[in-house]
Amino acid sequence: MPRTRSALPSPVGPVRLTPDARTALRPAAATIGAGFWHERRTTNARVSLPQGPDLLESAGNLHNLRLAAGTAEGEFRGAYPFVDTDVYKWLEAASWQLAQEDDEALAAEVDRIVALVAAAQQPDGYLNTWFQLVKGGERYQDLRWGHELYCAGHLIQAAVAHHRATGRPELLDVARKFADHLDSVFGLPGSGKPLDGIDGHPEVETALVELYRETGERRYLNLAGYFVDRHGHGLLGGEAYCQDRVPLREATDVEGHAVRQLYLLAAAADLAAETGEAELRSTGERLWRAMTTTKTHLTGGLGAHHDKEDFGDPYELPNERAYCETCAAIASVQWSWRLALLTGEARYSDLIERTLFNGFLAGVSLDGERWLYVNPLQVRDGHTDTGGDQSARRTRWFRCACCPPNVMRLLASLQHYLASSDEQGLQIHQFVTGTYGTDQVRVRAETDYPWHGTIAFTVEETPADSPWTLSLRIPQWCREFRVRCGEETYDFPVDDGWLRLSRTWTPGDRVVLELVLEPRLTAADPRVDAVRGCVAIERGPLVHCLEQADHPGGGLDDIVLDPSRPLAVKHRPDLLGGVTTVVAAGRRRRIPDRGWWPYPTASGSDPEPDGEPVELTAVPYPVWANREDGSMRVWLPTS
């Protein structure tokens, strides 16, 4: 396409590829306008982010930095060696936010906390309040659990965001100093570096690639490559938990701690993008396929086990004990977006959509003040909640508060996961009201998605005589859609998930895509014991669930859905900030309190086969747990 004038500012967000990156697509510029995501992002900007500093103060994170800086006295506060990362993730989120709008109060808080971080750094670049204050400065003695490089990674990511957003060098200087220190310490035997090691929690790898992108300093890319390569060689005892059982390029399945695995894979995709290495790319494609076919919950949630926050076995996807950590959903979005850019394939953005709308968004309450760390697919009647971080009830903050600021940073940078460009034109991956473009074209999208399926695109800027292609992702869930260009309705073929509209465009040209949003039943894979024979209700990208609040007079464990009866859609502006519900027919069985009975059951001792009819109201999963405590379920038996 010929170059005209700048249509939108170049994107200020994560994954700023270098000009040499070998990817099929590049992130496009985007701004989000009114609508579903705008509302949630506004709550993020007005409620969650401004509350961050107070929460970090009361949890002790900022106090620890002051202690390390020598400007306060007292004891280290916090239960984990990685509490610094809560500060860094908040700084990253606030920086992405500042890139979008001026906010003096937020900017002042960022300045204050950046100064605190800088003051806590040691003269040689090292920074970790836990090791400085609790471990007497003893470094790199506990790489398996100590999280020193994990903390460095989040610091680096915050610094990159701060620099990209504000152009200011203060935090980037801190990050570079730390990265230079790491580069002087870690390396292969024989490299002259004193330590051949990796961190039990990947994160520094993807951060170092971003630092390379921000500074052009190739040493950081090489160091990222070194860390990725050294996983799987037994440096940490060979545990899958630490991503150390098998070298990544030889892996055939995702395994171990879900967030650790996913951050490592995001780094591998970053490296593949910047180096063009085919083997790392095919490793990512292979593992993504394994993950999505056998280890992904319907909500996009990942990590089946509470124990070790682990992926678990293929098809081991429990409901009430699903772990599905909010951070794992975020890491999945980050990884999938990198694969989408690398390959140009729509399937990655299909998973991003499922995850964003469900497993991710359920992590934060509608008011932006309470959080879920684990995201179960069922809460039983009579559930006794033990409270704590892994509660099925929303919590104001956690002892291990990794998820809330992670949600904040993804919401604040969400526009960078929506659109891309290539030589052919512009690709729209997600349907969000806003403006998308490159330095040559600009398209405006208007929609009330996911409540309604109509998305109207207007071409605002385009080169005069040069054709280009507007590509729209047709979601995997979509069984029927229509496209209108002007007065005509077209039956365009879908090419591997993409609807491609090529022509010479004129400003004002309109394309209207209608995705038919019929509610649907989704059947469970029979290999998943927990949900065999069950169905889930979905509508568009949203998974729905039953909540006790909508079903007074009894619990949800006895409910059966009748799949032969039609599903109805009810828009409910009065409910949960305005949602569309799906109404289904079901029955409430009267099952004897026995637990089991002889098979085949003798007539008469059968559990009540019919039970009383009951109207089932299914609300979108991302808004569950915003009313009084009660039971919830996604998967429903049909008999």
- Cα separation of 434 and 445, whole Å? 5
With CB under 5 to 8 Å by kind, the binding choice for 309 among Zn ion, ligand FUB, none is ligand FUB
CB of 403 to ligand FUB, least distance (A): 8
For 617, the enclosing helix (H) or strand (E) is strand 612-620
Q: Does 325 bind ligand FUB (CB under 6 A)?
A: yes
Give the C-alpha distances (Å, rounded to integers) separating 116 from 65, 67, 75, 148, 396.
Answer: 6, 10, 17, 18, 25
Q: Does 93 bind Zn ion (CB under 5 A)?
A: no
With CB under 5 to 8 Å by kind, the binding choice for 1 among ligand FUB, Zn ion, none is none
DSSP string, 230-285: HTTSSTT-S-TTTT-SS-GGG--S--SBHHHHHHHHHHHHHHHHHH--HHHHHHHH
With CB under 5 to 8 Å by kind, the binding choice for 115 among Zn ion, ligand FUB, none is none
CB of 310 to ligand FUB, least distance (A): 10
CB of 224 to ligand FUB, least distance (A): 18
For the record, the structure tokens of 305 come out as 């086990």
Cβ partners under 8 Å of residue 566, min gap 6: none
Query: Among the candidate windows 314-322, 401-409, 516-524, 592-600, which touches Zn ion by CB under 5 A?
Result: 401-409
Total residues contacting ligand FUB (rule CB under 6 A)?
Answer: 8
With CB under 5 to 8 Å by kind, the binding choice for 92 among ligand FUB, Zn ion, none is none
Give the C-alpha distances (Å, rounded to integers) separating 395 from 113, 220, 374, 409, 621.
Answer: 25, 38, 11, 19, 17
Q: Does 403 bind Zn ion (CB under 5 A)?
A: yes
The residue among 150 and 621 lying less far from ligand FUB, judged by its C-beta, is 150
Q: Binders of ligand FUB among 295-314, rule CB under 6 A? A: 309
Q: Where are the alpha helices (DSSP H) in 99-189?
A: 104-120, 129-133, 148-166, 170-185
For 547, the enclosing helix (H) or strand (E) is strand 542-547
Cβ partners under 8 Å of residue 594, min gap 6: none
Which x/- pattern, by CB under 6 A, does the window 80-99 give for ligand FUB? --x-----------------
Q: Return the amino acid letter for 265.
A: L
DSSP string, 15-26: ----TT---S-E
Choice from 7, 402, 407, 499 touching ligand FUB (CB under 6 A): 402
Choice from 40, 176, 177, 201 touching ligand FUB (CB under 6 A): 201
Q: Judge whether 408 and 49 are in contact, CB under 8 Å.
A: yes
Query: Among the candidate windows 299-307, 308-316, 324-332, 446-454, which touches Zn ion by CB under 5 A?
Result: 324-332
With CB under 5 to 8 Å by kind, the binding choice for 41 among ligand FUB, Zn ion, none is none
Choice from 67, 165, 327, 560 touching ligand FUB (CB under 6 A): 327
CB of 246 to ligand FUB, least distance (A): 20
* CB neighbour burial string for 305-334, b if at least 16 within 10 angstroms, e if fewer: beeebbbbebebbbbeebbbbbbbbbbbbb
With CB under 5 to 8 Å by kind, the binding choice for 287 among Zn ion, ligand FUB, none is none
- Cα separation of 563 and 505, whole Å? 46
How wide is the angle at C-alpha 231 spanned by C-alphas 305 and 202, nearest 5°? 60
With CB under 5 to 8 Å by kind, the binding choice for 82 among Zn ion, ligand FUB, none is ligand FUB
Total residues contacting Zn ion (rule CB under 5 A)?
Answer: 4
The residue among 201 and 588 lying less far from Zn ion, judged by its C-beta, is 201
Q: Which residues are catalytic?
A: 309, 402
- In the bound state, the residue with its beta carbon closest to ligand FUB is 259
CB of 279 to ligand FUB, least distance (A): 27
Q: Is 14 left (phi over 0), alpha (psi -120 to 50) or beta?
A: beta
For the record, the structure tokens of 507 come out as 């400003």
The residue among 82 and 635 lying less far from ligand FUB, judged by its C-beta, is 82
Q: Report the residue count for the chain.
A: 639
Choice from 120, 327, 364, 546 touching Zn ion (CB under 5 A): 327
Which x/- pattern, by CB under 6 A, does the window 241-260 give for ligand FUB? ------------------x-
Considering only CA atoms, which of 491, 501, 482 is closest in space to residue 425?
501
Residues forming contacts to ligand FUB in the complex (CB under 6 A) are 82, 201, 259, 309, 325, 327, 400, 402
Residues forming contacts to Zn ion in the complex (CB under 5 A) are 325, 327, 402-403
